[in-house]
Amino acid sequence: MANYPKYYTIWHKLGVNGLKLTAWLVLLFLMLPIIVVIPLSFNAEPYFTFTKEMLSLQPGAYSMRWYAEILHDEKWLMAIKNSFYIGILSALIATVLGTCASVGLTNPKMPYQRLIMAVLLSPMIVPVIITAAGMFFFYSKFGLAGSHLGIIIAHAALGTPFVVVTVNAALAGFDYSLVNASMGMGARPIYTFVKVIMPLIRPGVISGALFAFVTSFDEVVVVLFMAGPQQTTIPRQMFSGLREQINPTILAVATLLVVVSALLLFTMEYLRARGQRIRGGQV
């Protein structure tokens, strides 16, 4: 039994329990479509539904068959390799650009801060399909469409706003007198950035890098516009699989993506909490 304050009436208790029930229903509404993929990925039969044997929990109804097929399918292996290759490089570029932009924008002497910030965050607001179409026509003039480099640059542009947001949050309340003190003692700007600014904003920078990586890892619209057969990523391969040949291997790949996303989410939450402790002076 829950312990309620003595002044709670029956209506207070009903309100609290109703709020808890609503929260659980919202959580189920959000998570159920994701969670249901996991047991289906272990289906021994080539179906996208639960069989009678699965519902009765018979061991023979479950198998690692579809996970093994990933390792023997060249298309999936190439898609996994491309996703990590493009995701890591685009995240690195986005992290460098976003961090530099945030440090400059949080400087009190920077003019037109709000206007520049709005422009930097515009890729988060503009529909992705419009951005993808614009990127395709723009990059095609430079021969970047249908190349790894073109997709890396495009994904870096999509990931940079997330880095700007997280680093900006890390720089909130930053004491620029520390920078002035460092410069006043003869330190060069790069040394001041590495030794004074970076240690304080490192959790925000890493969180932004992870956001940028996830943005690239899950992105499919830009890839549909710009990728050729050799630049196929995991989302593009899943999209093609659903259209051309429905195969439960997609469920196994989706489960692996859920696991990777969950690990990145826990890492970002840990870094967010660590950043708060640093700003609070508890570390």
pLDDT at position 161 is 93
**Which CATH number applies to 73-280?**
1.10.3720.10
CA distance 20 to 135: 45
pLDDT at position 280 is 62
pLDDT at position 2 is 66
Tens of pLDDT along the chain (283 residues) come to: 567 788 888 888 889 889 999 999 999 999 888 888 888 888 888 877 788 888 888 888 888 888 888 888 888 899 999 999 999 999 999 999 999 999 888 877 888 888 888 888 888 888 888 989 999 999 988 888 889 999 999 999 999 999 999 888 888 777 778 888 888 888 888 888 888 888 888 888 988 998 999 899 889 899 999 888 888 899 888 888 777 767 778 888 888 888 888 888 888 788 777 767 766 654 4
CA distance 170 to 147: 35
Domain ranges of the chain: 73-280
CA distance 233 to 80: 6
Give Cα separations from 278 to 200, 202, 221, 271 (angstroms). Answer: 7, 10, 38, 10
| Token code pair at residue 185 | 């003692």
Residue 203 near residue 271, CB atoms below 8 Å: yes
Q: 0.85 exceeded by the pTM?
A: no
pLDDT at position 97 is 94
Length of the chain, please? Answer: 283
